[in-house]
Each structure stands twice: as C-alpha cells, then as structure tokens.
Amino acid sequence: MKTPRTARALGKGKTKQCGIAPSFETNFNEPHVAHNFWGLDSLLIGLSDNLLYVSDNEGQTWSQRYAFDFSPNFQKEGRMHVAEGRIFVVSWPDKKIFVSTDKGYSFDTLVTPQSPGGSFIFRAHGNTFLLCLDDGFIYQSRDLGENWTKIQPPRAGFDLTSTMNYHTTKDSMIFLMDNANGQVWRINVERLAKITGKVFLDYDADGLQDSIEPGVKDMVVRARNSLQFFGVTDTEGNFSINIAHLADTLELATTLTHFIPEPTFQIVQATDTFSVIFALKPIAQVTDVAVNLVATTVFRPGFENILVATLSNNGVLPASGVFHLVLDSVTNLLDALPLPDWQSGDTLFWQYHDLLPLQKLNYQIRIETGTIVALGYVVHLSAEAASTLTDISPLDNIFNLEAAVVGSYDPNDKAVSPLNIPPLVALDGGQLTYTIRFQNTGTFPTAFVILRDTLSERLDLGSVRMLAASHPFTWGIHGRELTFRFDPLLLPPAQDDEIGSHGFVQFSVEMKPGAMLGDIVRNTAQIYFDYNLPIVTNTVETIVKEAVSSYSLPDDVPTLLRAYPNPTRGEVWLDWSKSKTKPSWIRLLTAQGVEVLSMNVAANDASVRRLDLSSLPRAFYFVVFEMPSGKKLAIKIELI
C-alpha cells in the first residue's frame, strides 16, 4: 500500500508541496477526503474516525489533539468544516455539531434544531450552514450555528433530504435542487421579513399605550399565510415574527375571555418598518381570578417536595382577597415563600391585594411526605382563591391536586391531563394540560436547560398558554416545536441538593375541533442539560373515548341514592335516605374527572342535601358518593 500523503498547491496550482497523512489509509480511497482536511492559520487539521490530528510543519509530522467519544462510520462529505477560526465536527448518530474556538484543544456542542426522527444532514458553505431534519423544513444559519432560520420548502411534497448534496447557500440566498420537476428554486432569506410589534392592555380603550398600561407577556401572534411562523410576546409585550410572503396578515392566536384585540388583524408588507400594535380592550368590568397547583416532583415517603401555586387575575378589575391551600394530613410543612399570613391546622392562608389584570402571584410551599405513608396512598391537596368582589367564573377558583405516593421513579417525565376526553367535548376542541418535569442527576450544576416539545398535528399551536414554571424562562414556537429555554439556570446536582435539583414547566393547549372517537393525541418531550444528549421523556396519550367512570354503579343505585331533578337547570337534590349506609363525602366531577366541589357528610347530618349548580357550565357531571368503607357510587347528571 502506498503511503497516503497530503498535497498543498502553491502559486495558484503551478507547484505543489507534499506531506504525510496521519494514518488515514481507509479515508484516502475517495477523493472526498478533502472534507476532512483543513487549514487553520499555520496549522493543518485532519480527522480520522474519532481522532483529531494537527500538523504545524506543513504535514511532515502529526500529533493527536482531541479524541471524541463517538466513532461513526466514515462519511464522504461534511464530517469537518473550518470557518472564522472555528473547527466544526459533525456526529450524525448523535445529531450533534461540535465546535472548537481554541484550535481543537476543546469542543462545545452547538444548540441546533432537533427532530424526533432519524435525519440530521449538515452542509457547510463557507460561513453559512444548512441543516435538514425529517420535519419537512430546511434550516439556515448565517452566524456559524449561533442562530437558525426555519424555512418552508417552496412546494408541497418537496424532498429535501435526498437532494441535500445539491442544495447550496451563500449569504441570504438558498438554492434548492428540485429533481422531481427539474427546477432550481431560489429563496432569499432576507425576504423572510421580520415584523415587530407590541401587545398591551388598553384600559381606556383609546388605542394608545399610556404609562399605566402594561405590555402583556406570553401572547402568541400568528401569520395567516406563513403558517410555520409564530411570535411570542416578552415581559414588555414585545414580539417579532417572520413572514415568508411579500404580504401577510398578523393576528393574535391567544384569546382572552374578557378582552378583545384592536385591531383583530393587521395586514403587513415584507418591507414594513413600523411596529404592529395590538391593544387589548376590556369587554366588561369583571373580576375573575384562577388558581393552579403543581408538584415539582413525585411524592415519596420521607422525601421533600415543592409545591408551586399560581394565582392569576384573568379579569379586568384589580383583585383582592384570600388565597388558601389545604395540605394532606400525611405531609408536613417545612417552609413557604412568601410565608402564610396565618395557618389553621393543615390550611395555609395568604392575603392578596390589588392584583392587576393578567398578572400572577406565585407561592412556593416546601413540604415533606411522612416516612410511614404506604405506597399507593393518594395525596390530596386543595388550593382556592376568594375575592372581595363577586367572581364571574368561580369554577377555576379551586384546584385539586391528587397524586399517588411512589417508590422509585424517573425524575425526567411528562404528564397530561385529562387522559381521556369525551367525543362531544373533542368535537368542539378540548383543552389539554401538559407538565414537563426535569432533574439534574449529574455531578455538576447546569448552565442552562432546554426543553423541546413537538406538538401533535391535532393541537392548535396558537392556543398555547403558559401556566407555571419552576424558574424564569423564555419560550417560542418554531413550526410545530415548542421550545422552553431556562438560560441561565444553575440547577444543582441531586447529590448536592436533591430538592433544588428539580424543575418543571406547565402549559395548556387546545385540541383542534373535529377529533373523533378513538383518536389519540400523543406527546413526548426532549430535555437538554447544557450540551449533553437529550433525555427523552415518556410518551403521554389523551384518548377520545366515552367517559367511563372509575366508580362502580350498581343497578340498584337509583333506588338507594337519588339525584333530582335530572336533567336540571341549576338545582339538584341528593337523597340517600333509603341507603343503609350514609356517605362520608360527596364530590361533583366533570365528565373529564375534574373535581368541581366536595362536601363532608357528618354522622348527624340530614339524609338530603341541596346542590346549587347554577354557576357551572352546561354539561354532564358525576355526583360521587364516597362510603365509609371506601366504596364509591356515582350518578350521572345533566345540567341544561
């Protein structure tokens, strides 16, 4: 076998200078080997399998500088690239691009777009990069991978992956080879215009933002024609959004019950330089507070947990009142931030004053589960907010959290509620709530954490609403991918601070109307700790199916337990006078299994109880009778 050599052309190719290649015999069988040899200042750089070599004497001798922890099959093109003093190395199996800014002594990982599928095709054209996944889009970076622009193919059914070697890019231009039609498409990325704007609360409905009228965060802005692009407002209400057409129409995808945007839509041109303003005008002067409660990790005997309760003012008027949290008897309070204003037994009370419209208050409660609690025991926590003024929607003033005590578990997980949704609800679209929890199980604090969540085609991206999170974060929507970025986030390792090593984010999203019986909405998230490989969570499912109560319903229930009138327009009488056993608890559940109200039945109470349902939405509900034995009986009622 001949000794493989490197050759460098001098004098524009008139003469050449040869050097010795560092044991790259297998790689020299193809002319494409040039993609794994580069010059950087006075160095020559070569890549063989997982080893990076350098030569500082024109290739006469070589030394190993870096060893990667991967050894993929040799690829003919694209393994290594050098630009602007940086070395880039691609690992297709890991879907990673490594970058060195110190001539190969150390490497970091670029944060790139990701897709759950198998494709990860990277091509470098000078200082401009192209990346193709299997999500139907092509990505361009013009700043060496720091930021990526997501670009929709020029026509439906365009096969980007098989023709990736024939695509090229320079500066703002991308040229795509369309083999099927024998065409070359040209896309000017700069014509993917960036439109900026603002969303604010317009208290006086004059269309102008006054000094006391704040911007509104977490509002989703949608471009009607450029369906793959969304904008999300920051803490000041500012947003930016790309459009892929010379003209497009922007609108607020997020809907608020008590506010209406003015204008409802705005036609924009790619050349526009002015900001698009959406003023949220009050519909009526109402009070509407809502409560949410999340456990940052699972309940385990003898272990701590942090509860995050969120009080939101969804109304138009400033809200004042009392918020309280009822702990389970098997939990012990360790700390709370802020401290409760007072406590009565297992119930903590906080007063809140003048909570402004669309603002939130967060409460962190650190508790410990008792050491003798049996596995499988269901911890029950209840949060409720009362306001000094009449609340127009009391249904969301109460939040009940139930979770079973477990032993071992996976700390990086995803949960969805509800698990089942009735066809009548799904037909008009139903709301799903997702919670992603993560924990640093490594040995060193994180610098940042990124969550990527590709949402199902059955979900309306414009309806995404942020509910709660453990730490400050920013988020955005790219195609169908929801990205949460906790940056910076110094999350300690579990071995140093178990309770502090956890984090979470919770959001809701609406199903698109039209789902049918048997349809399934699946969802999986990916969790990135710094530049490490993603941790893939469990897959959660919501199934469209007829509501099936988990409670028994004997044939003789109508003669023992009665609920009348049924259907009802608001008032229901419950009668258990013919039952040999008196219930200990009565609970009212929605068809999705969400508890609306509960009441204790004392031993000396009358055997007839009145329920006022006039404030609830028209729907089907279950009245659940819990017997002292633990048995549960249910009656289905209809509120018309």
Q: Where are the domains of the chain?
A: 5-189, 192-282, 293-366+398-544, 557-639
Residues 101-139: tens digit of each pLDDT: 999 999 988 888 876 556 788 888 888 899 988 666 788
Q: Which CATH superfamily is domain 5-189 in?
A: YVTN repeat-like/Quinoprotein amine dehydrogenase (2.130.10.10)
Average pLDDT over residues 464-493: 90
CA dist., res. 325 & res. 380, Å (int): 11
Phi, psi of 27 (to 5 degrees): -85, -15
Q: Is the pLDDT of residue 629 over 80?
A: no
Residues 7-39: tens digit of each pLDDT: 555 555 555 555 555 554 433 333 334 457 788
Q: Is the pLDDT of residue 550 over 60?
A: no
With cut-offs at 50, 70 and 90, classify the pLDDT of residue 419: confident
Average pLDDT over residues 551-570: 61
Residues 223-269: tens digit of each pLDDT: 888 766 788 999 999 998 878 777 889 999 998 989 999 999 999 98
What amino acid occupies position 244? Answer: A
Kindly state the percentage of the chain with pLDDT values over 90. 38
Burial class (CB in 10 A: 0-12, 13-18, 19+), 212: exposed
Residue 258 C-beta-side C-alpha neighbours within 13 Å: 19
- Worst-scoring range by mean pLDDT, 26-35, 114-123, 599-608, 629-638? 26-35
The SS3 assignment for 559 reads helix
CA dist., res. 351 & res. 361, Å (int): 11
Please give the pLDDT value at position 552: 42
**What is the third-level CATH fold of 192-282?**
Immunoglobulin-like (2.60.40)
Are 408 and 430 in contact by the 8 Å Cβ rule? The answer is no
Please give the pLDDT value at position 33: 45
Nearest to 275 by CA among 243, 238, 242: 238
Q: Is the pLDDT of residue 75 over 70?
A: no
Please give the pLDDT value at position 4: 54
What amino acid occupies position 122? Answer: F
- Worst-scoring range by mean pLDDT, 53-67, 165-179, 253-267? 165-179
Q: Is the pLDDT of residue 364 over 50?
A: yes
- What is the residue-averaged pLDDT of the chain? 83
Cα 630 to the center of its chain, rounded Å = 38
Query: Which has more pLDDT, 56 or 349?
Result: 349
Are 250 and 265 in contact by the 8 Å Cβ rule? The answer is yes
Query: Which has more pLDDT, 428 or 80?
Result: 80
With cut-offs at 50, 70 and 90, classify the pLDDT of residue 145: confident
With cut-offs at 50, 70 and 90, classify the pLDDT of residue 367: very high
Classify domain 293-366+398-544 at the CATH class level. mainly beta
CA dist., res. 18 & res. 7, Å (int): 4
Are 110 and 139 in contact by the 8 Å Cβ rule? The answer is no
With cut-offs at 50, 70 and 90, classify the pLDDT of residue 60: confident
Residues 286-295: tens digit of each pLDDT: 999 999 999 9
The DSSP symbol for 514 reads T
**Bridge-based pairing state of the strands 194-201 and 276-282:** parallel
Query: Which has more pLDDT, 188 or 281?
Result: 281
Q: Is the pLDDT of residue 553 over 90?
A: no
What amino acid occupies position 510? Answer: E
Kindly state the percentage of the chain with pLDDT values over 70. 88
Question: Which CATH number does the domain 557-639 belong to among 2.60.40.3080, 2.50.20.10, 1.10.1240.10, 3.40.50.2300?
Answer: 2.60.40.3080
With cut-offs at 50, 70 and 90, classify the pLDDT of residue 410: confident
Nearest to 287 by CA among 391, 361, 388: 391
Please give the pLDDT value at position 259: 95
Burial class (CB in 10 A: 0-12, 13-18, 19+), 251: middle
Q: Do domains 5-189 and 192-282 have the same CATH topology?
A: no
Please give the pLDDT value at position 154: 67
Please give the pLDDT value at position 329: 92
CA distances to 442, 528, 529 from 534, rounded to whole Å, are 13, 5, 7
- Worst-scoring range by mean pLDDT, 75-79, 171-175, 511-515? 75-79
Total Cβ atoms within 10 A of residue 403? 17
